[in-house]
Amino acid sequence: MEAQNVSIHGHDVSYRGGGSGPVVVLIHGMAGSSVTWEPVLDELTRHCTVIAPDLPGHGDSDKSRGDYSLGAHASSVRDLLLALGHERATIVGQSFGGGVAMQLAYQYPERCERLVLVSSGGLGQEVALLLRALTLPGAEHLMPIACNGRVRDAGAAVTGFLDRLGLRPVPAVAEMWRSFASLSDASTREAFQHTLRSVVDLHGQRVSAADRLYLAADVPTLIVWGDRDPIIPIDHGVAAHEMIPGSRFEVFEGSGHYPHCEQPQRFVDLLVDFVETTSPMAKSELTHRR
C-alpha cells in the first residue's frame, strides 16, 4: 500500500490507508513507521477503512523541532483523523503507539470507539535495558557512530543476499533492524531522542496510565501480547487486563514484541472479530471525565 501525504498545520504527515467500513487507526512504535503494519494492511482493508500514519519525527512525516510528548502525538493522530474526514475510529497502538492510543482515548474520548493495545508501553516501569541506556546524557553523541550509513548499508546488503538465497530474517528481527536503520538519519535520531526521553529514563518507563485505566471501563478494549516479548514484559498486559473491566486479553504464543508481524493472519482475524462483535463506545468528553 503506497504512502500518501497530507499537510496539517503546515507540516507534512505521511500515512498509508485504504479500504471501507469501520475506521481503524494503526499507530506504530518508537523509531518505527507505518511500514510495520504492511503484513496486515491488505487483509485489513477488506474489512475496514484503515489509516496507518507515520507519527511526527518518524518515517516520511516531517521531523521538525517541536513537541514529541505523548499528548502531542495523540493530538497529531486526532488531527489526521479529522483531516481525512473521519470523526471516530478504533484506535490500535503497538509499543510506544499503545501509549499514544491510550493518551488519545483520554484526551479525546469522543474520537475513540474502541481501544487495542499491542505490546503496549505506558503500563508499567520495566522496559529493555538498551532503551534505558539510550536516555543517558551523551547517548545522542554515540548514536551517530552506531547508526551510521555504512552500518545501515551493510545490513541492507546482507538482507538482500539472504533474500536472493531464499532466506528471510524472522519478522521480529526484520522489524528491529528497520527501526535501527531509520536512526542513520540525523533528524530522525533527534526526534527519537526527544520521544524516548519523554517516556523513559534510566530507571525505566516514566509515564504510566495505570492510575487512569479505570476510565477505560466503558471502552471496548483488546490487549494483545507476545509471550516472548523481550522489550516490554507480558506482565504489564496481564495487569492492565485485570484493571480494565470487560477487557479482552490475547496471548500470541511464540511471538515477541511484534505479534502483528510475527502472526499477521491471526492478528487480522482477531482485530476484525473484535471490531465486528463489539459496540463502539458513545461517550462525551465531559461524561468521560466525571
Give 140's Cβ-side CA count (13 Å radius).
13
CA distance 197 to 75: 19
Query: Which of these is catalytic: 229, 236, 247, 288?
Result: 229
CA distance 261 to 267: 9
Query: Which of these is catalytic: 61, 75, 76, 95?
Result: 95
- Please state the length of the chain: 290
Report the 3 state secondary structure along 173-212.
HHHHHHHHHHCCCHHHHHHHHHHHHHHEECCEECCCCHHH
What is the secondary structure of 254-267 as a DSSP string?
T--S-HHHHSHHHH
Segment holding 249, helix H or strand E: strand 248-252
Buried b / exposed e along 250-270 (16+ C-beta atoms within 10 A): bebeebbbbbbbbbbebbbeb
Cα–Cα nearest to 175, from 28, 32, 41: 32
Among this protein's residues, is 95 annotated catalytic?
yes
Burial class (CB in 10 A: 0-12, 13-18, 19+), 50: buried
Phi, psi of 13 (to 5 degrees): -120, 125
What amino acid is encoded at 207 in this protein?
A: V
Residue with cell 484506535: 91
Number of Cβ within a 10 Å radius of residue 45 = 18
Segment holding 220, helix H or strand E: none
CA distance 41 to 16: 9
Query: Which of these is catalytic: 73, 257, 260, 288?
Result: 257
Instruction: List active site positions.
Output: 95, 229, 257
